[in-house]
Amino acid sequence: MFDLTALRLAATTVYQSMSPTPQLAWPLLAEQLGCTVWVKHENHNPTGAFKVRGGMLYVQGLLSREPQTKGLVTATRGNHGQSLALAARRHGLTISIVVPEGNSLEKNAAMRALGATVIEHGKDFDEARSHAATLAVDHQLHLVPAFHPDLIRGVATYALELLEAVADLHTVYVPIGMGSGICGLIQARDLLGLNTEIVGVVSEHADAFAQSVEQGRVVCTASAHTFADGLACRQPLPESLEIIAKGAARVIRVSDREIAYAMRLYHETTHNTAEGAGAAALAGLIKEQSQQQGRRVAVILSGANIDRRMYAAILDEDMSPNWPK
């Protein structure tokens, strides 16, 4: 996919637009979970999510290959779209972004504020993605995919930062949407010659990747209804599945209730905001905490972009001592 030199070059490009994000070991998380917990704070990025790294690298690479490009189109639930909107604005390109109907109002507003034209279409990401492809043909726009080597190499720079900053990590938990984040992490680990196990985390309500890994083939689900919209994939891509199946120790499922608990725990122990997908990795660690006692573990807080009303309602729920059931 890419070598270590290419990854370090990607980091140089990314750092023209942002600083490296911190990885912090939080004492209260360690106290609650019985292991050292390093949090990779991708919520501290310019768009509040890890995707910005890939967007910057992708658009720069596109313009070097196709300098005549004037306009982009893509589909998103929000973070991928914000990353591309920021990159498009910096390079003077137009961009249309298709989101499913009922998408996050605040993510939509953020994309519009970055200069994007936001189009609502379809019941979920996959229908939005199909409409984006149609718009690309009809209006001669460049269609930006959800998964591409430059997107992976860009987001893999977060993994390079984490794995070079924190030695002897036993396990890293990472959310899976379309797969760029976990694939970048797997590649960075392999390039550094580490034995760290990587555990992918999906929603039990959007578990197409988990089913696909278990069955050794692409399995599509009829729906992907989870409030953690960054996990809402029902049609895995074969190329990302191949990397995950080969490089991840396992892919585990968490419930929306478990994700909401992890969001509250982040707030209580670190005072950081996590969106649903951003908290999924911590939910995965909590689910497997008996397996990680005394170990050095990292979780990827991949994003913080959640609508205020939803976040307030989640924080207001009772953190029952009987959780989880």
195 belongs to a structural domain: yes
DSSP character string of 169-199: --EEEEE-SSSHHHHHHHHHHHHTT---EEE
Judge if 266 and 254 occupy the same domain.
yes
325 belongs to a structural domain: no
Distance (Å, whole) CA 232 – CA 102 = 13
Closest CA to 145 of 160, 126, 159: 126
324 belongs to a structural domain: no
pLDDT tens string 18-66: 999 999 999 999 999 999 999 999 999 999 999 999 999 999 999 999 9
Output the domain CATH number for residue 175. 3.40.50.1100
Judge if 57 and 42 occupy the same domain.
no
Distance (Å, whole) CA 268 – CA 247 = 33
Domain count, the chain: 2
The CA-atom distances, in angstroms, between 70 and each of 79, 82, 140, 148, 299 are 22, 18, 9, 20, 38
Averaged pLDDT for residues 133-154:
95
3-state SS, one letter per residue, for 83-104: HHHHHHHHCCCEEEEEECCCCC
- Last residue of one domain, picked from the residues 93, 112, 143: 143
Phi, psi dihedrals of residue 241, rounded to the nearest 5°: -60, -40
Percent of the chain with pLDDT over 70: 98
Judge if 30 and 88 occupy the same domain.
no
Q: Is cis: bond before 324, omega within 30 of 0?
A: yes
Strand-pair category, 197-203 with 171-175: parallel
* pLDDT for res 126: 86
pLDDT-derived band at 299 (thresholds 50, 70, 90) equals: very high
* Burial grade of 235 (CB within 10 A; 0-12, 13-18, 19 or more): middle
* Burial grade of 31 (CB within 10 A; 0-12, 13-18, 19 or more): exposed
pLDDT tens string 221-241: 998 889 999 999 899 999 999
pLDDT-derived band at 318 (thresholds 50, 70, 90) equals: low
User: Model-level pTM?
Assistant: 0.93
* pLDDT for res 320: 47
| Residue 131: domain span | 51-143
Judge if 231 and 99 occupy the same domain.
no
Judge if 229 and 300 occupy the same domain.
yes
Q: Lowest mean pLDDT of 103-107, 223-227, 240-244, 320-324, name the range.
A: 320-324
